[in-house]
Structure 1
Amino acid sequence: MRVPLSWLREYVDLPATETGRDVQAKLISAGLEVETVEQLGAGLTGPLVVGKVLTIEELTEFKKPIRFCTVDVGRANGTGEPQEIICGARNFAAGDKVVVALPGAVLPGDFRIAERKTYGRVSRGMICSGDELGMGDDGTHGIIVLPPELEIGIDATKLLELYDEVLDIAVTPDRGYCLSMRGVAREAATAYGLPLRDPALLDVPAPNSYGYPVRITDPIGCDRFTARTVVGLEPEARSPIWLRRRLQKAGMRPISLAVDVTNYVMLELGQPLHAYDRSRLEGPIGVRLAEAGEKITTLDGAVRVLDAADLVITDNRGPIGIAGVMGGAHTEIADPESDPETGVVTGTAEVVIEAAHFDAISIARTARRHKLASEASKRFERGVDPQAAAAAAQRCVDLLVLLAGGTAEAGVTEVSAPSAPRTITLPANHPDKVAGVDYGRETVVRRLQEVGCDVYGQDELVVTVPSWRPDLNEPNDLAEEVIRLEGYENLPSTLPKPPAGRGLTERQRVHRRVGRALAGAGYVEALNYPFIGEQALDNLGLDADDARRRLVKLVNPLSDEEPALRTTLLPGLLGALRRNDSRGSHDLALFETGLVFRPEGQPGVAVRLPVDRRPSDEEIAEVNAVLPAQPRRAAVVLAGAREQAGWWGKGHPSDWADAIEAGRTVAAEAGVELIISADQHAPWHPGRCAAFHVEVDGEKVLVGHAGELHPRVVKAFGLPARACAMEIDLDLLEKANEGPVKAPRISSFPVATQDVALVVAADVPAADVQAALSEGAGELLESVRLFDVYTGDQLGEGTKSLAYALKFRAEDRTLTVDEATAARDAAVALASERTGAVLRGA
């Protein structure tokens, strides 16, 4: 909301010495987000005067149209002689009043005006456009043509109100009343302790049966509708300069008098209005829900297909506007047109003014559904004062009568649903308890009254909430208002006193150890939003019945493309991988730990927990019962080189083995050993995918997957070729851990190493062979490591050779060769029995 300081002073008698910066500080202390203070007219100095164009000579000998003009500026030039000016614009004629910058003037951007010879003539000044004076968009982008009644030679800087300060306020959703001069003025009056001249305090005639007929069939969507009619408007009437300038300063473009007046009143009172050309209306105005598939052409010229949940304004022909969002083209105010032969100006002469109150949620959903945000919808969806509709309609009528020579018809239509004032009961000391400050009853009552509340009672206050504050619904809302007006900066700083704790839980410790281990292994943590869309799941190549396609969708998502909570960490990480690769970082290893959301059973609706006390165990259990499962997971993605090449030797590209090793690293931090086997699981390559299992209570449980991504997935996400990934469930790893992580044994006796090369069938997993070797070797085995895999003609088709290094060590003695050999032979024997392994060369 852009608030011109000169306009704000109409409602609050701010001290004359107060600058925009001073007002900004006051409003910020009251809780408003005043982002900037714009200095209008900065760098602009006169002389800038009103002039009358006397003659125009067209200079045709140049490539572009040039006009040599003489302009009467009165005595402003010191001589009274006409001023000679070269100008290229063509939207003015002889006899028009224009704005003239005389030599010595400086325009915004340090553009200095001086006499100069150009196009073979001497130009002594400049005829100005609105852009050149920094006035903002007036819809013409041409020379300013002033009303003919203005006096020649007067100061144009005051006439055009070029010097001003504009506060730019970011209005939060709960402060919709500040999307109006009335609302901001109320805050300023409270901040300065000054009285407010409320522009909504107008004499409004009582409703009667003579007004334009209105029929409301959806009283929930529209609980109030006021209609007023003004006739006899002069089609040639234009918005006065003061009105146009206020609209421009507030960031709106002047259009026509009737439209400008409705926009002006909306900015002033916060009540959106709409003006209909009565000659284009057919029958009563109606308010109803649209029929699915109905169409309407809105004021922006677009044809829109309506939804059954859209609230529409109608006449006998059908929809003539999308309620609270945008009007229809069929009944818009006609632009004035002049007959070239007779000179008679025609246009809208009779208007019907609509001032209605619509349901905030309905308008917000309609605006989002049609991607049609407007000044009206922005206000309605934040909450508009329903009691201001009649005053806004009256203010609009008064301005049209004053500025367009119209006549207000006696008929006043007001259709409203019965409603009772909203009241809230709160203890008088409730704000004291919330803030930890002793405000006292008198301060609480005074501050609530400044907000606009009516307050009754002593120890227990009954507060009637003002109609313009739909955000005040609970005692804590009222407490916040008291704290805000008393000053957040006056709240004392106190350290919380939490009860003594017991440190981190095992789940938290595992989570932190995993993050440190992956970072130590060269991975960089990437934190991503926990949202996902169907397109990401399609890109992962998931089957239609895949459990990861069961999503928990958000009622109000940040993005329509990602309306659900993630069921896997991979889409976010793959998106980060793509972004970094596209920006020149090609050797990447990223990781993330976090929650995924897996719905179980039938979805439910969570109860609303109280905020004034601790929820009961039953209430907490009821909320937990409808929450989805939220397992904690870890995931990595890799692309490019895992080890760089250099003088030390060749590097090596990241591959499926690195992704599997990341899984082992995570499991080791949880004190668990993975059982690794080949698998086929989206989004991994069917021939380069490993499944991770662990033993929990004697049963093998799947905890994750790793490997190289499927080429179709790589293409769908735009990833580097042969990108790899791993994802593992940390909660299941924690369950598999039978106790604290044991420290490694350290022995002072030497190690005995035995190598074995076993020939097995090509489809036998190396992990099965290694498991058999570990079990068969007995307690003397310290470690077993696969260091070579060989396939070739020497072995025969369908076989492979697996070479393992077995290390043996005893805690109390040096092993003999016979002991180490016996342990090795026992290991080979069990591997042969279980997997059909044969010693190579045997």
Structure 2
Amino acid sequence: MRAPVSWLRELVGEDALPATTTGSEIAAALVKVGLEEEGLHGGDITGPLVVGRVLGYTDEPQKNGKTIRWCTVDVGEHGQMVTEGKHQEIVCGAHNFAVGDLVVVVLPGATLPGGFRISARKTYGHVSNGMMCAVDELGLGEDHSGIIVLGNHLADDPERLARAVPGADAIELLGLGDEVVEVNITPDRGYAFSLRGIARDLALSLGVPFTDPAVEPSRTAPAPDDQGYAVRLRDDAPLHGRAGCDRYVARTVRGVDVHATTPSWMATRLTQLGMRPISLTVDVTNYVMLLLGQPLHAFDLDRLSGSIEVRRARAGERLTTLDGVERVLDPEDLLITDGGTTPLVIAGVMGGEDCEVTDSTTDVLVEAAHFDPVTVARSARRHRLPSEAAKRFERGVDPALAGAAAELAVRLLVELGGGTADGGVTDVGEITLPEPFGFDVTLPTRLVGLTFERAEVLRTLAEIGCEVEELDGDEVRVTPPSWRADLRTGPDLVEEVARVRGFAQIPSVLPQAPGGHGLTAAQRARRLVTSTLAQQGLVEVLSNPFVAEGRFDDLRYAADDERRRTVRLANPINDEQPLMRTSVLDTLLDVLRRNVSRGARDVSVYELGLVTRSDGQGRQAPVAPLGTRPDDATLDRIREAVPAQPWHAAIALCGDATPAGPWGPARPVQASDAVAVALGVATALGVTLRVEQDDVAPWHPGRCARLVLADGTTVGHAGELHPKVVAALELPERTCAAELDLDVLVGAATGHVAEARKLSTYPVAHSDVALVVEESVPAARVEQALREGAGDELESVALFDVFRSDQLGPGRRSLAYRLTFRAPDRTLTTAEVSGLRDQATAAAAAATGATQRGA
């Protein structure tokens, strides 16, 4: 929102803003009370820019078909400085002036907007000592059809026209030295989308009284009666329980001269605020909107049937708006209709072509209404119409302002357009004003960190327009003003008190964190997992947990696989990925492929994240009412409807595990590498996992390991991915991966207290044993049996050889293990070691049918 300094001076007073006050100083004052400075405009023209009188000219046709005028112009005393007493000689391409006209002349040495520096230069065979200016060249508008003729431009301002004599300063005459402050209006400060609102905050910042420009029109406006234009408010489908229109004011002005010229002072101010002057009727409504913040609309009364109805759109209705676009209306759109049948306006957004004021209009119906912010915002976005009216309505317009705005617009149409106001006044509807609430005057001191005395708090509340009723003790009852619907609670008022004092005075204090319990056991365990994976050389990545419909087919999940049961998003970020992942590998493998496609060859990545597991029940969570905390029963139903979301950790490996070098050739990544990384994670948590062979997607059926706890609970899988999965996802050959259920693994780690084992200083004793078993017997099962049979003196078991031969028979293999024994209190004898080995062998034989090789 832009605010000319001269206009602010009128609203705040010359005593508060003397002529020497700069735009920078005003911007600083507004920043003090929370209005962010967006920029400063204007004030960038430097003279000499003067009034000149055309003494004569010669039309000179050119070879290019253009006719220029070689003019002699009287610029007063400035002529003596530039051309040694001669009148100025200027080349001009415009033809809309005559001998004797007063024009605006920029002389050599001046600078126009945009840094355009003027100098004497030769053109069309003459040396032109300056330039006669058009409207757009001075930043007063966009018109370039001819130069400014001051007799026309200032026709409505005789006082200024009388000061337009040759040599007079045109910068001061036309207000071109006026700076314009631009501020950024946040959504909660809709009142500041007007000169009224900005001036109020400026007065607050400067500590001076503020005279509301809406007070006088509101006080003198005629009372509503039943003689005004007929208006009906009907809203059969209000949004969030609020009517689309709760107040509608209509006033009639007859005999308006729509061809009357918009006064230069009004056109200048519209231009300064970024709006293009169009016609008197439109300019008046825009001027009132910019001043007060209340959008208006003007109808051609003769094109209406006799009544207006405000209602929601019906299915199939269409409206051609003022921008010439035919729009299909939505049932949520609020419309201003002619008699309830023909749509005229999308309420609060833009009018239609059927009711606009034209060159033949004489009688005008002025509308000033209050529309629901949500309704207007949705319509503006639905139709992509971010109009000036919509910007204000969606931020909240003062509902008590409509009568004053309509009265001011009627006065201007009568004064400037020669119209006559009808006596009838329409004012229908019932507005909802902000509700009073209790407020503790000590709250600003407690929340802000500064001391605010009671008198200052009450004074500030009164200055921002609140009504304050004294109660017992520190409590008061506060009724916010009609233009501040955002003030609903005590903290809202605290912000107001703080900003009037000045946000810059609030000290920066680092808050002290209260004592707590630190991280939970699960959080510490997940951090340990992250550190362990990073220490093993993997890089952590983050992927979005959304997958496409065909991802589960790419991973070869069976039709009845529980990992196919997931949650579909109602409003996905990407329409091609509407499902939540059920495995971290669903999305981690995309990261691996992306890195490989960008030139990486050896990639080792991991991710910790949530997965979504649906039970297929499809429970619907209840929608709790706004403004209050849901009861316990509602919260329980909401929690029950949320699907399970366990923590998982996944890794993906490709390329070489060991690079080539002097030590030998490179070693490609193998399934065992993925298993080793997974086992390393479990070891870091103090959990022992058993490795068993398995056949589960998306892993290779012969290179897939199932990782289980001692009680048989599956923690996850690791190994090499299935070749068809690798092909479907465009991954490198022999890509390996693993995924662990961290909730299960962490639960096992935190479910028991690990006891430190006392270190023994006695020597170890090794004993090897080779056991022949069926191919179907997992090596891990044999190892488990050896551990169980060997007793407490067994320190470790390691598989160091797998042997197959015809001598062992088909379908059989030999597994060689090295058993390491150590006693905590003595050196074991050979007989004791042999006995322990035999116990272990016997246990393995009983559990797996193993026989000792060579026995």
TM-score range relative to shorter protein = 0.7 to 0.9
Aligned to 1:85: 91
Cα pair distance change 1:126/1:654, threshold 3 Å: farther
Q: 1:808 aligns with which of 811, 820, 825?
A: 820
For the 8 Å contact 2:768–2:818, the answer to whether it is kept is yes
Aligned-partner residue type, residue 40 of structure 1: G
1:265 paired with 2:277, answer no
Aligned-partner residue type, residue 7 of structure 1: W
Distance 1:146 1:719 in 2: 75
Aligned to 2:318: 295
1:568-579 superposed matches below 5 A:
none
Aligned to 1:739: 752
1:66-81 superposed matches below 5 A:
68-71=68-71, 73-75=73-75, 78=79, 81=87
- RMSD, aligned CA: 5.2
Q: 2:352 aligns with which of 299, 303, 328?
A: 328
What is the percentage of aligned positions where both structures have the same residue? 43
For the 8 Å contact 1:754–1:820, the answer to whether it is kept is no
- 2:314 is paired with a residue whose SS is coil
Aligned to 1:305: 328
Cα pair distance change 1:255/1:822, threshold 3 Å: farther
Distance 1:727 1:411 in 2: 78
Aligned to 1:341: none
Q: How far is the alpha carbon of 1:485 from its aligned partner? A: 2.5
1:365 paired with 2:383, answer no
Cα pair distance change 1:353/1:591, threshold 3 Å: farther
For the 8 Å contact 2:233–2:310, the answer to whether it is kept is yes
1:39-54 superposed matches below 5 A:
39-42=41-44, 44-49=45-50
Distance 1:10 1:734 in 2: 71
Q: How far is the alpha carbon of 1:239 from its aligned partner? A: 3.9
- 2:425 is paired with a residue whose SS is strand
More displaced, 367-376 or 585-594? Answer: 585-594
1:204 paired with 2:210, answer no
Aligned to 1:444: 457
Aligned to 1:188: 202
User: Which has more radius of gyration?
Assistant: 2
For the 8 Å contact 2:91–2:123, the answer to whether it is kept is no
Q: 1:24 aligns with which of 24, 27, 38?
A: 27
Aligned to 2:398: 385
- 2:289 is paired with a residue whose SS is helix
Aligned-partner residue type, residue 626 of structure 1: I
Distance 2:507 2:122 in 1: 68
- CA deviations on 1:138-196 (whole Å, 9 max, x unpaired) are 55677765665245755443455443444443333222212222122111111111111
Q: 1:509 aligns with which of 520, 524, 533?
A: 524
Aligned to 1:338: none
Distance 1:51 1:169 in 2: 37
Q: How far is the alpha carbon of 1:755 from its aligned partner? A: 9.7
Q: How far is the alpha carbon of 1:467 from its aligned partner? A: 0.7
Aligned to 1:172: 186
Aligned-partner residue type, residue 392 of structure 2: R
For the 8 Å contact 2:679–2:689, the answer to whether it is kept is yes
Aligned-partner residue type, residue 249 of structure 2: T
Cα pair distance change 1:583/1:777, threshold 3 Å: same
1:103 paired with 2:103, answer no
- CA deviations on 1:210-260 (whole Å, 9 max, x unpaired) are 333221102712111112233434343454444344334434444444333
1:442-591 superposed matches below 5 A:
442-459=455-472, 460-491=475-506, 500-525=515-540, 549-550=566-567
Distance 1:146 1:221 in 2: 47
Distance 1:165 1:481 in 2: 28
Distance 2:741 2:769 in 1: 35
- 1:11 is paired with a residue whose SS is helix
For the 8 Å contact 1:265–1:271, the answer to whether it is kept is yes
Q: How far is the alpha carbon of 1:509 from its aligned partner? A: 1.5
Cα pair distance change 1:776/1:733, threshold 3 Å: same
Cα pair distance change 1:715/1:56, threshold 3 Å: farther
- CA deviations on 1:590-613 (whole Å, 9 max, x unpaired) are 655566677884402346687xxx
Cα pair distance change 1:130/1:210, threshold 3 Å: same
Aligned-partner residue type, residue 84 of structure 1: I
1:313-324 superposed matches below 5 A:
313-316=336-339, 317-324=341-348
Q: How far is the alpha carbon of 1:454 from its aligned partner? A: 0.8
- 1:483 is paired with a residue whose SS is helix
- CA deviations on 1:431-487 (whole Å, 9 max, x unpaired) are 444446553432222111111111112433122211111111223322332233234
Aligned to 2:389: 376
Aligned to 2:157: none
For the 8 Å contact 2:700–2:720, the answer to whether it is kept is no
Aligned to 1:342: none
Aligned-partner residue type, residue 225 of structure 1: Y
Cα pair distance change 1:9/1:294, threshold 3 Å: same
Aligned-partner residue type, residue 297 of structure 1: T
For the 8 Å contact 1:539–1:713, the answer to whether it is kept is no
Distance 1:607 1:184 in 2: 36
For the 8 Å contact 1:298–1:304, the answer to whether it is kept is yes
**Unaligned 5+ residue runs, structure 2?**
80-84, 154-163, 236-241
Distance 2:257 2:734 in 1: 74
Distance 1:311 1:795 in 2: 91
More displaced, 481-490 or 213-222? Answer: 481-490
More displaced, 375-384 or 622-631? Answer: 622-631
Aligned to 1:339: none
1:9 paired with 2:9, answer yes
Aligned-partner residue type, residue 212 of structure 2: D
Aligned to 1:352: 365
- 1:9 is paired with a residue whose SS is helix
- Corresponding residue pairs, total: 803
More displaced, 560-569 or 459-468? Answer: 560-569
Aligned to 1:37: 39
Distance 1:166 1:579 in 2: 51
For the 8 Å contact 2:319–2:328, the answer to whether it is kept is yes
Cα pair distance change 1:417/1:122, threshold 3 Å: same
